[in-house]
């Protein structure tokens, strides 16, 4: 969620005053009209898939294992549970029906691609978690889920995670591949840790709060699945190494060095503004309530999302994640810098026609594809991922799929897409230089 305007600006080191003063922006509060059919047609255009950038081939069996477990668990829950509480029965039936449909939508192993993506693996763990939560809720409702057994399961998972960590030395034979693989392993460890230390405690009387009990057990199931994935990924990675060495210290030092560069860049960015407030800025005009304001906040929100992620990773000792998230922050700060400069110099303006919007989309895609061609691809694809997300998200607004069926896209949706396209293009343009920075510190 985006904070208040002033909080956002203080977070990224830029005040609203930097964006006031473009006299050509006056009078732009009136929005042009856009042809709804043309907007829909633009939104229906496909966005190229990101390259397969993870340095490991992920076999489809990794997803199949999760789906087999999910199907085993859902068979425990009868289609028509015989329980005295009708409200619980209704919720169990509704959840089961939905999950059965989602499981049916997962391609069979022989029909799926030989290699999967990390996002497929994450989706499989999430679905397994939801099914486990349903199964546990049903067992809680039938007094078949004693708290002691749940506690024992959590203790086993904690022990297994400790054993995994004791053998984890961040080995690799290539700095970039080591960074990407160990970042994923850190993410998986964090999933496991979240299961061991859940936000909500298991209820003392599960039958009185069956869905809370199910949620806790579902989280444990996901933690178990995440640890299994981490063990398989690490094993596959080590099997392909010829002369592995530990990269733990190297990654840690690189993260600290890149953090220093990013902070220094942020300090220079403060030169764009005077913190006294918009009224004291020596220019007239304003971008308030215009598409340019939306563009600014889209870019600022990007910085806002990765900077805390990098700091949290650093505090918990996940140095690979800290390095990669700091790289993402640096690329987004550069994009924000370019956008602020373009707004101040009137080098960017909102579209007046669908053709203008189409051109912005093409420019963003060209920058994104150029970023993907930057070696090493695994690193560039990771840094550019938000640019891909922004372009893909714009499709939803232009197609109108976020609203009721009869909704037709209008100027508001066009301006949302405008902000996404420009931000995506500037972010993608910042990727090659940021890749160089990361490789330099590594």
Would you write out the chain's pLDDT as a tens digit for each of its 442 residues? 333 443 444 444 444 344 444 444 443 445 678 888 899 899 989 999 999 889 998 999 999 999 999 999 999 999 999 999 999 999 999 999 999 999 999 877 655 565 789 999 999 999 999 999 999 999 999 989 999 999 999 999 999 999 999 999 999 989 999 999 999 999 999 999 999 988 788 999 999 999 999 999 999 999 999 999 999 999 999 999 998 999 999 999 999 999 998 888 766 655 433 332 344 332 234 677 788 888 988 988 888 888 889 999 999 999 999 999 999 999 999 998 899 889 888 899 899 999 999 999 999 999 999 999 999 999 999 999 999 999 999 998 888 655 556 778 889 999 999 999 999 999 999 999 999 999 999 9
Q: Is 81 in a helix, a strand, or coil?
A: coil
Which of 239, 269, 284 is where one domain is finished?
Answer: 239
**What's the total number of domains in the chain?**
2
Sorted by sequence, the CB contacts under 8 Å of residue 359 that are 6+ apart come out as none
* Buried/exposed code over 19-43 (b: 16+ C-beta within 10 A; e: otherwise): bbbbeebeebeeeeebebebbbebb
Question: Which residues pair with residue 115 across a beta bridge?
Answer: 59
pLDDT recorded at residue 385: 96
For residues 340 and 210, membership in a common domain is answered with no
- Report the pLDDT value the prediction gives residue 160, as an integer from 0 to 100: 97
Q: Tokens at residue 122, please?
A: 């994450």
16 and 121 in a common domain: no
| Predicted local confidence at residue 113, as pLDDT | 60
Quote the pLDDT of residue 368: 97
Same domain membership, residue 415 and residue 355: yes
Report the candidate in 204, 190, 89, 201 with the shortest Cα–Cα distance to residue 138: 89
Q: Where are the beta strands (DSSP E) in 197-253?
A: 245-246
Separation of alpha carbons 310 and 322, rounded Å: 5
Kindly state whether residues 80 and 153 are assigned to the same domain.
Answer: yes
Instruction: Say yes or no: 257 and 146 in one domain.
Output: no
Indicate the SS3 state at residue 116: strand
Specify whether 231 is located in the same domain as 349: no
**Residue-level pLDDT at 87:** 95
pTM: 0.87
Q: What is the pLDDT of residue 409?
A: 85
Q: Do 48 and 73 have their domain in common?
A: no
Residues 32 and 140 in one domain: no
Looking at the structure, do residues 99 and 23 belong to the same domain, yes or no? no
Count of other CB atoms within 10 angstroms of residue 317: 10
Which residue segment(s) compose the domain that 181 sits in? 58-239
Same domain, residue pair 138 and 218:
yes
d(CA 310, CA 329): 8
Buried b (16+ CB within 10 A) or exposed e, 248-286: bebbbebbebbbebbeebbeebeebbeeeebeebeeeeb
Output the pLDDT for position 106: 86
* Final residue in a domain of this structure, among 176, 206, 239: 239
Per-residue confidence (pLDDT) for residue 10, from 0 to 100: 44
Say if residue 375 is in the same domain as residue 399.
yes
Enumerate helices (H) and strands (E) in the chain, giving the number of each: 15, 4
Q: What is the 3 state secondary structure string of 11-69?
A: HHCCCHHHHCCCHHHCCCCCCCCCCHHHHHHHHCCCCCCCCCCCCCCEECHHHHHHHHH
**Does residue 388 sit in the same domain as residue 298?**
yes
Q: Could you tell me if 129 and 219 are in contact, meaning their C-beta atoms sit under 8 angstroms apart?
A: yes
CA-based torsion, 237, 243, 247, 249: positive or negative: positive
């Amino acid at each position: 969620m985006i904070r208040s305007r002033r909080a956002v600006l203080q977070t990224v080191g830029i005040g609203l005053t930097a964006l006031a003063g473009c006299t050509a922006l006056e009078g732009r509060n009136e929005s042009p009209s856009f042809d709804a059919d043309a907007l829909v047609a633009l939104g229906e255009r496909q966005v190229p898939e990101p390259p397969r950038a993870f340095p490991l081939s992920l076999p489809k069996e990794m997803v199949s294992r999760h789906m087999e477990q999910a199907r085993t668990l859902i068979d425990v829950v009868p289609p028509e549970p015989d329980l005295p509480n009708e409200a619980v029965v209704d919720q169990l039936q509704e959840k089961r029906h939905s999950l059965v449909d989602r499981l049916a939508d997962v391609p069979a192993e022989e029909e799926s691609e030989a290699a999967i993506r990390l996002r497929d693996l994450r989706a499989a763990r999430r679905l397994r978690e939801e099914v486990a939560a349903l199964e546990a809720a049903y067992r809680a409702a039938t007094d078949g889920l004693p708290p002691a057994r749940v506690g024992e399961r959590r203790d086993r998972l904690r022990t297994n995670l400790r054993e995994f960590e004791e053998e984890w030395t961040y080995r690799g034979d290539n700095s970039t591949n080591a960074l990407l693989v160990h970042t994923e392993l850190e993410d998986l460890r964090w999933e496991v840790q979240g299961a061991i230390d859940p936000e909500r405690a298991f209820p003392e009387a599960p039958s009185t709060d069956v869905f809370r009990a199910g949620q806790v057990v579902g989280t444990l199931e996901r933690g178990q699945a995440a640890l299994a994935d981490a063990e398989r990924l690490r094993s596959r990675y080590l099997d392909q190494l010829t002369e592995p060495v530990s990269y733990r210290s190297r990654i840690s030092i690189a993260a600290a060095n890149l953090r220093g560069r990013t902070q220094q860049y942020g300090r220079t960015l403060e030169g764009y503004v005077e913190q006294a407030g918009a009224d004291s800025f020596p220019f007239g005009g304003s971008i308030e309530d215009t598409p340019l304001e939306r563009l600014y906040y889209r870019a600022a929100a990007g910085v806002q999302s990765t900077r805390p992620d990098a700091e949290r990773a650093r505090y918990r000792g996940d140095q690979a994640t800290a390095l990669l998230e700091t790289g993402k922050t640096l690329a987004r700060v550069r994009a924000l810098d370019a956008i602020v400069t373009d707004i101040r110099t009137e080098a960017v303006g909102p579209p007046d026609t669908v053709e203008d919007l189409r051109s912005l989309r093409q420019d963003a895609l060209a920058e994104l594809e150029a970023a993907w061609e930057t070696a090493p691809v695994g690193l560039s694809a990771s840094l550019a991922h938000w640019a891909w997300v922004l372009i893909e998200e714009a499709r939803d607004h232009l197609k109108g799929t976020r609203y009721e069926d009869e909704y037709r896209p209008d100027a508001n949706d066009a301006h949302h897409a405008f902000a996404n396209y420009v931000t995506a293009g500037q972010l993608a343009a910042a990727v090659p230089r940021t890749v160089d920075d990361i490789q330099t510190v590594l």
